């Protein structure tokens, strides 16, 4: 049982989010307002993704109103928590899993932005936990929920998310502390006082407006590997004297190129064409459309949508030229400068690159490097040597070192990597064509197998091996079903199960290999 004269507050955080400072602010604010309080922490790894827990208890009576000093606990009691203050939304889920919040008692205050966990990152497919399920659980298992993107609000005000969450705590009324007590705690700390006060006021205003049901996708978090690059791509500017017309796509051009395709597919095709022209040129986008047309005619809208999406992604595989192109874009440096709140000449960007032999010679002409590539595969069958390097792309020499690779783009169509990638693409499209004649649903499953082709270096070689294996096995099984008059249910099931297993991550790849071995054994 817990003492009802004490209020409990739990901060489940990860290293680097300022949870320790947040704990000190809350304890200092309580003491400044005359409420006895005690804070403890269970430190984890003091870096991003390292779990760290902070716990606060404070009396509901001021010190002069009590007969003796309260007895504080060092750890929260499941089901008896008054406030859950989460700097990251998945931490709410972890606390719910441990049973700390309760719908009768707990106020949950959380930032909806995400710093992805190791388990989410390790999945080969999309492993991100659905935020709508997290929000639903938080709503059901809380007495009051205040959920908003504290990180985005902090960036807007030039501060950190912990200051914004402190303001939300003050505005929630969950603790009997005055706003001035929190402000005094920030001033007493003496760290970035003005910026943290701005963040505090912003969070206070959000809570005061009663933002209790508005958790959305949220920002993905600065420095998160899965965070998208919002740098503008020069895919659709107007052509100028300095820009080849072959490298841009105006809206009329795109409309003309896709005029004979179903209207339902055009949103996907517009994005694909802009991406392909930015990647290579207009002729490359036309080649994409020519490859796609037969599947629209033969397989209908669903198959066309699947092929359109995966073919565009595969044809814009990220070789060294593409990586250099993305890393030297002016918009990238502007985004980084904006995210960290730095002046134009203050940012220092160091790119950590580790290309292996395949990626290095892959950008060179096929005829030139094919003999060496075959020798390298025999010499290092289980992984090629890699060249690790740190390149400071905000210096002239570092920028030029990367940017010079972009000049090889005209050679890409005759490169070794292009020969290998397009050979696999042609094999994939031929398999889909064959399956369309048997069963439309089977053709769709074979088309989805392209999801397996991803990654760099050893990872990509491994994933291409999975792709080759499932293509061969499914076609053999389908041929047998076609010969015996089957309904292709076994082939469809095998393709879907194998793909799902591989996309779960490396641990499930053994299960996928076992599934194929068992199928081949039966054949």
- DSSP string of 92-150, one letter each residue: HHHHHHTT---TTT-EEEEE------HHHHH-SS--PPPHHHHHHHHHHT-SEEEEE-H
The predicted pLDDT at position 298 comes to: 83
The predicted pLDDT at position 184 comes to: 94
| Alpha-carbon distances of 493 from 325, 366, 446, 474, 497, rounded to whole Å | 40, 38, 11, 9, 6
The CA distance from 113 to 152, in Å, is: 8
Angle made by CA atoms 130, 132, 137, in degrees to the nearest 5: 105
Phi, psi for residue 197 in degrees, rounded to 5: -70, -35
**β-bridge partners, 284:** none
With a CB cutoff of 8 Å and minimum separation 6, the contacts of 65 are: none
pLDDT tier at 519, thresholds 50, 70, 90: confident
DSSP secondary structure letter of residue 261? S
Token readout for 228 is 């998208």
- What share of the chain has pLDDT > 70, as a percent? 88
Q: Which residues of 117-138 are buried (b: 16+ CB within 10 A; e: fewer)?
A: beeeeeebeebeeebeebbebb
Angle made by CA atoms 323, 324, 328, in degrees to the nearest 5: 120
Q: Is the pLDDT of residue 520 over 80?
A: no
Q: Is the pLDDT of residue 111 over 60?
A: yes
The predicted pLDDT at position 14 comes to: 74
Q: Is the pLDDT of residue 243 over 80?
A: no
- Ranges in the chain annotated CATH 3.40.920.10: 6-208
pLDDT tier at 224, thresholds 50, 70, 90: very low
Angle made by CA atoms 209, 212, 213, in degrees to the nearest 5: 125
pLDDT tens digits for 20-42?
Answer: 899 999 999 999 999 999 999 87
The CA distance from 460 to 214, in Å, is: 39
The CA distance from 418 to 28, in Å, is: 62
Does the predicted model carry a pTM greater than 0.95?
no
Phi, psi for residue 67 in degrees, rounded to 5: -80, -30
Average pLDDT (480-491) is 89
pLDDT tier at 282, thresholds 50, 70, 90: very high
pLDDT tens digits for 319-341?
Answer: 999 999 999 998 898 888 877 77
The predicted pLDDT at position 247 comes to: 59
Phi, psi for residue 189 in degrees, rounded to 5: -65, -35
Q: Which fold has domain 6-208?
A: Pyruvate-ferredoxin Oxidoreductase; domain 3 (3.40.920)
pLDDT tens digits for 76-99?
Answer: 889 999 999 999 888 899 899 999
Q: Is the pLDDT of residue 233 over 50?
A: no
pLDDT tens digits for 350-391?
Answer: 999 899 999 999 999 999 999 999 999 999 988 889 988 899
The CA distance from 106 to 140, in Å, is: 11
């Amino acid at each position: 049982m817990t003492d009802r004269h004490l209020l409990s507050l739990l901060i489940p955080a990860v290293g680097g989010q300022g949870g320790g400072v947040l704990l000190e602010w809350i304890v200092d604010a309580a003491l400044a307002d005359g409420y006895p309080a005690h804070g403890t922490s269970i430190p984890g790894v003091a870096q991003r993704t390292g779990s760290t827990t902070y716990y606060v208890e404070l009396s509901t009576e001021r010190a002069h109103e009590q007969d003796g000093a309260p007895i504080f606990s060092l750890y929260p009691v499941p089901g008896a928590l008054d406030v859950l203050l989460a700097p990251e939304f998945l931490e709410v889920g972890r606390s719910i899993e441990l049973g700390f919040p309760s719908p009768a008692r707990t106020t949950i205050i959380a930032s909806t932005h995400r710093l992805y966990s190791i388990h989410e990152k390790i999945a080969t497919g999309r492993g991100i936990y659905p935020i709508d399920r997290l929000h639903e659980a938080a709503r059901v298992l809380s007495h009051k929920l205040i959920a908003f993107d504290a990180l985005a609000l902090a960036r807007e005000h030039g501060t950190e998310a912990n200051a914004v969450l402190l303001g939300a705590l003050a505005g929630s009324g969950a603790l009997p502390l005055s706003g001035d007590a929190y402000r005094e705690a920030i001033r007493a700390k003496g760290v970035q006082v003005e910026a943290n006060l701005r963040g505090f006021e912003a969070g206070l205003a959000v809570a005061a407006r009663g933002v209790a049901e508005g958790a959305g996708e949220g920002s993905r978090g600065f420095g998160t590997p899965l965070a998208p690059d919002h740098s503008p791509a020069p895919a659709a500017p107007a052509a100028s004297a300095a820009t080849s017309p072959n490298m841009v796509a105006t809206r009329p051009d795109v409309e003309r190129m896709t005029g004979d395709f179903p209207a339902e597919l055009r949103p996907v095709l517009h994005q694909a064409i802009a991406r392909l022209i930015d990647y290579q040129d207009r002729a490359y986008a036309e080649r994409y459309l020519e490859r796609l047309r037969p599947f629209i005619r033969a397989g209908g809208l669903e198959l066309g949508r699947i092929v359109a999406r995966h073919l565009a992604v595969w044809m814009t595989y990220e070789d060294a030229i593409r990586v250099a192109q993305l890393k030297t874009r002016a918009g990238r440096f502007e985004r980084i400068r904006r995210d960290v709140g730095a002046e134009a000449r203050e940012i220092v960007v160091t790119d950590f690159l580790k290309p292996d032999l395949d990626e290095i010679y892959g950008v060179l002409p096929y005829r030139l490097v094919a003999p060496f590539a075959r020798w390298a595969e025999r010499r290092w069958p289980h992984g090629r040597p890699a060249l690790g390097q740190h390149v400071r792309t905000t210096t002239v020499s570092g920028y030029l070192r990367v940017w010079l690779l972009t000049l090889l783009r005209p050679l890409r169509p005759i490169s070794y990597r292009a020969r290998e990638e397009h050979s696999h693409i042609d094999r994939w499209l031929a398999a889909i064509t064959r399956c369309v004649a048997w069963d439309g649903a089977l053709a769709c499953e074979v088309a989805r197998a392209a999801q397996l082709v991803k990654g760099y270096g050893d990872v990509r070689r491994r994933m291409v091996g999975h792709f080759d294996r499932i293509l061969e096995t499914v076609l053999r099984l389908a041929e047998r079903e076609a010969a015996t008059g089957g309904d292709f249910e076994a082939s469809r099931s095998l393709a879907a199960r194998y793909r799902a297993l591989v996309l779960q991550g490396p641990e499930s790849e053994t299960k996928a290999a076992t599934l194929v071995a068992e199928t081949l054994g039966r054949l």
